[in-house]
Amino acid sequence: MKTTKPLFNLFLIITIIACNSTPSPEENIKPMSDEQEPIITDEQLNYLGITDKNHLSAASKRALQWPTDLGNEWFIQFSDLQPLKGDFAYEEGVVRRDPSAMIKEKGKYYVWYSKSTGPTQGFGGDIEKDKVFPWDRCDIWYATSEDGWTWKEEGLAVARGKKGEYDDRSVFTVEIMKWDDIYYLCYQTVKSPYNVRVKNQVGLAWSDSPNGPWTKSKEPILSPADNGVWKGEEQNRFMVEKKGDFDSHKVHDPCILPYKGKFYLYYKGEQMGEEITFGGRQIRHGVAIADNPKGPYVKSPYNPISNSGHEICVWPYNGGIASLITTDGPEKNTIQWAPDGINFEIMSVIPGVSAHAIGLNRAADTEKEPTEILRWGLSHIYNNYDYQSIMRFSSERKTSHAAKGESSKK
């Protein structure tokens, strides 16, 4: 009888905790048992061209799981890149790459980008003196245009730091955000020496004018995870004792979006010991969230938030966040959307994307249609391995197809 009261109290505590706890998103997912049969309608059979619902291939089973309300408003095709005029015309000996998004101020488009000069020597020589990548030994410059075609290079925006600082080797791959009349640039940083195991970080600069001057953060606002372990001392990025998180090696391509009263820093992660899988390189995206544009930024426990991708290309739409996923991984060349900015679903699978390191037109009406912001913008092209230039991309929706002379009306 002495144990009755303690047992009752324990039962009461467990009951209260169970009643007050909020199930996680994973707990709300109820897997289908083997005994459950999907409901297949005649409309689905007709739409998908399935012959016999009692004999379903693996492909047909997957198709039956596709959302029934998914139309073609997310499907687009990219055109070939087009050369730009003025200071963005190709210039031998100069690297201009990784354009930021464009913003429009007083009738002019502004863009920021990585700029360096001279050829790339790689890792075979003296890494203290040589240029190991085209994006090595870069500074951030900016340019303006009235029509999006002819650009004027205005000058240096953010320079590399002094020797010994976290950004003393290179600052590159920049993005712009305007919030409360303050302009914010986030970008990648590398500290010397630039070897294959270097762990880059993300820096931030701000100004009350798009023309600067810019104040840089004294410390990085985002760093790689520190839970991977290299194997040995050899400069080989594929040799690891432990791979660690998806971003244990590098955090790349930062982009900050104001979202639901907070600031979402989307970024590309590279893992130590990165491998080639059935989808290509192991590249995934993550997000870190802050209450203030200057941080501190806290990585989401749901990271990684993509299975694929390369450069970050995200924009707001319909209360959520859309993302163009390109280049690497099993879900490359897709447009995805997350109603909460974290849980992304594939909305369309598109043909190969000609644009790289896309600079979106933030002046576009993002609510007009899902892909309006992709109608035109900036990209870069490898004129050769040593030198790159900034080009213009365009895309269009594709909703029907017809043979020559055939009406496409339905």
Residues 212 and 64 in one domain: no
Omega before 213 within 30 of 0, i.e. cis: yes
Domain range enclosing 215: 76-397
Asked if residue 8 is part of any domain, the answer here is no
What's the pLDDT score for residue 408?
65
**Residues 6+ positions from 123 with CB-CB distance below 8 Å:** 132, 195, 196, 235
**Residues 6+ positions from 156 with CB-CB distance below 8 Å:** 139, 140, 141
What's the pLDDT score for residue 24?
39
Reported as type and span, the H/E element at residue 19 is: helix 4-20
What's the pLDDT score for residue 21?
40
Asked if residue 86 is part of any domain, the answer here is yes
Residue that finishes a domain, picked among 45, 69, 93: 69
> Cβ(399)–Cβ(75) under 8 Å?
yes
CATH of the domain at 117: 2.115.10.20
Q: How many domains does the chain have?
A: 2
Residue 189 β-bridge partners: 171, 201
Residues 143 and 219 in one domain: yes
Residues 83 and 117 in one domain: yes
What's the pLDDT score for residue 67?
78
Asked if residue 329 is part of any domain, the answer here is yes
Asked if residue 377 is part of any domain, the answer here is yes
Asked if residue 2 is part of any domain, the answer here is no
Residues 88 and 215 in one domain: yes
CATH of the domain at 57: 1.10.8.360
Asked if residue 116 is part of any domain, the answer here is yes
Asked if residue 62 is part of any domain, the answer here is yes
Nearest to 285 by CA among 307, 315, 265: 307
What's the pLDDT score for residue 50?
93
DSSP 8-state symbol, 319: T
CB-based burial, 234-271: b 16+ in 10 Å, e otherwise = eeebeebeebbbbbbbbbbbbbbbebeeebbbbbbbbb
Residues 239 and 276 in one domain: yes
pTM of the model: 0.89
d(CA 342, CA 259): 11
Nearest to 205 by CA among 295, 298, 115, 137: 295
Residues 58 and 164 in one domain: no
d(CA 142, CA 139): 10
Residue ranges, the chain, pLDDT below 50? 1-35
> Cβ(347)–Cβ(298) under 8 Å?
no
Strands (E), 196-275: 201-207, 215-216, 229-230, 240-242, 250-259, 262-270
